[in-house]
Amino acid sequence: MDFHIVIDRYLEIDKYTFMPNSVLIESADGEKRGITEMNAVMKSTSSHQPALVGGPKSVPDNRPEVFTWPIVTTEDEQAVLNVLRSGKMSGWDITKEFEREFACWQGTSFALASCNGTSSLLEAMFGVGIGRGDELIMPSLTYWASGLQAFAMGATPVFADVDRQTLCIDPADIEHRITPQTRAIMVVHYCGHPCEMDAILEIASRHHLKVIEDVSHAHGGFYKGRKLGTFGDVSAMSMMSGKSFAIGEGGMLCTNDRVIYERAVAFGHYERHDELTLPTLQAGAGLPWGGIKGRLNQTCAAMGRVQLKYYDQRIAVLQSAMNRFWDLAEGIPGIRPHRTPPNSNSTMGGWYNPLAHYCPEELGGLPVETFITALQAEGVRSARGAHLPLHFHSLLNEIDVYHDGRPTRLAGSARDVRQPRGSLPVSEQVAARTFGVPAFKQDDPEYIRRCVDAFQKVAHQASELRDAKKLM
């Protein structure tokens, strides 16, 4: 009897590639005689072979203009030049204009500029009253300057774990860490993702704790329709060149609380002590209470004023690009977006350092390093993205910075607040379960589509990459 083989179902490998998933064996009269699953039987054709193992690149063209940031025009150049020519780099007039405009944009009563974000965060800590022996609850997954300044105040950080999806401090891991020494919670809107502010504010209010927001990754972002940096008692942020809101070097503190603002002025801005109205602060006017000088260089303030005019429209473009990327990438195995849900009224601001969640179990255990290397070989900008947890570092465990005879982490504490490996499981896994995706600044649909094709190709050929990796 004659038989022939008919393709029964196709498996979609990517948008260009379908391969037979199962075949039917039919006799000439149409009688079905058997079915054979073909899953993973066919090898990829050469055009679908990952570039890492000899296939063609998905994104052959290098497009630096799609990634250029900050956007600097002749308007920025002229503003900076004017400061240089006037010799007013160390003045206050342009900085105060910048602060006024920034406070208006941010929606807070006060904005105080500093030479960097580290300094603004230090002033915020002093502003809310952190001092000797206090504990500051913060995430371990962040840049050190979210909280290491606590050491300089005789205080100590206590780390809470982060939420698996948002990568921001997990409200469910805060409360059991609160002690009579806890003074404040430092939240970080990590890589642009807003923290769960409703739950955090509720905990803080029940325990009479201050909330400080580190907005260094999330300028212009929203949580449920309200701007990040307006939830806490005070917010502070970096504006260094790599940030979404970038002015060269600089920091900004924002608050609605006059006491916090004036304490910050007292701490690091002795030339502005004429602004102090609180008698306790006036009594110490003339010298900076923190023994530091936080003044911003006015070339940066001038650039900041120009950047602020265009910031919202520029981040609208990049938000559209990043959301386009993730909408197209929906359903690719092994990766999930680190972004706010659509229509949630929460946004990722300037999408600082955009990340993907990586699920190696969906890709046969392919390590994230190989996935990244394969994307790079395709011509896609990708790299490791997340910080190593702070609680691993010797500075948070052993180092005695100020000659107290014990680790500085413990110097002001009645108890051992150190947190060994294993104590913050989600934070500790983030490096292996995330990676950086291209930070598109321009919305070029065709280019973005090609990048997504590269992700498709790499994810669908994970087994080939894994086998090739073993032979390398």
Interface contacts to ligand PLP, rule CB under 6 A:
116-118, 121, 142-143, 145-146, 188, 214, 216-217, 238, 240, 251
Pick between residue 238 and residue 408 the one whose CB is nearest to ligand PLP.
238
Nearer to ligand PLP, 195 or 380 (CB): 195
User: In terms of CB distance, is 217 or 338 closer to ligand PLP?
Assistant: 217
CB nearer to ligand PLP: give 288 or 367. 288
* Shortest separation between residue 353's beta carbon and ligand PLP, angstroms: 9
Are 169 and 185 in contact by the 8 Å Cβ rule? The answer is yes
Residue 58 or 95: the one with the smaller Cβ distance to ligand PLP is 95
CA angle 386, 106, 184 (to 5 degrees): 60
Q: Is 20 or 248 the residue whose CB approaches ligand PLP more closely? A: 248
Residue closest to ligand PLP, measured at CB: 117
Residue 162: phi, psi to the nearest 5? -105, 160
Between 329 and 396, whose beta carbon lies closer to ligand PLP?
Answer: 396
Instruction: State the nearest-atom distance from the C-beta of 116 to ligand PLP, in Å.
Output: 3
| 8 Å CB contact between 128 and 267 | no
Question: What's the min distance (Å) between Cβ of 303 and ligand PLP?
Answer: 14
What values do phi and psi take at 275, rounded to 5? -80, -15
323/329 Cα distance (integer angstroms):
10
Sign of CA dihedral 121, 125, 131, 133: negative
Strand partners, 243: none
- Rounded CA Rg of the chain: 26
CB nearer to ligand PLP: pick between 186 and 374: 186
Q: How far is the CB of 330 from ligand PLP (least distance, A)?
A: 28
Structure-token pair, residue 66: 């799609």
Closest approach of Cβ 352 to ligand PLP, in Å? 8
CB of 143 to ligand PLP, least distance (A): 4
The H or E element that residue 452 is part of is helix 445-460
H helices then E strands: how many in the chain? 12, 15
Integer Cα distance of 454 and 462 in angstroms: 12
Q: Is the dihedral of CA 89, 93, 94, 100 positive or negative?
A: positive
| Cβ-based nearer residue to ligand PLP, 145 or 454 | 145
In the complex, the smallest distance separating the C-beta of residue 18 from ligand PLP, rounded to whole angstroms, is: 44
What's the CA gap between 124 and 258, in Å, rounded? 12
Q: How far is the CB of 292 from ligand PLP (least distance, A)?
A: 13
CB nearer to ligand PLP: pick between 188 and 411: 188
Q: How far is CA 402 from CA 151, 272, 412, in A?
A: 9, 30, 11
Q: Which is nearer to ligand PLP, 243 or 460 (CB)?
A: 243
Do 15 and 453 meet the contact criterion of CB atoms below 8 Å apart?
yes
- Smallest separation (angstroms) from ligand PLP to the CB of 95: 16
- State in angstroms the smallest separation of the CB of 450 from ligand PLP: 30
How many CA atoms lie within 13 Å of 246's alpha carbon, on the beta-carbon side? 15
Kind of pairing between the strands at 3-14 and 17-27? antiparallel
3-state secondary structure 91-112: CCHHHHHHHHHHHHHHCCCEEE
**Which of 2, 21, 1 shows the shortest CA–CA distance to 10?**
21
* Cβ–Cβ < 8 Å for 154, 199: no
| Cross-strand pairs, 110 | 255
Query: Considering the complex, what minimum distance in angstroms separates the CB of residue 105 from ligand PLP?
Result: 19
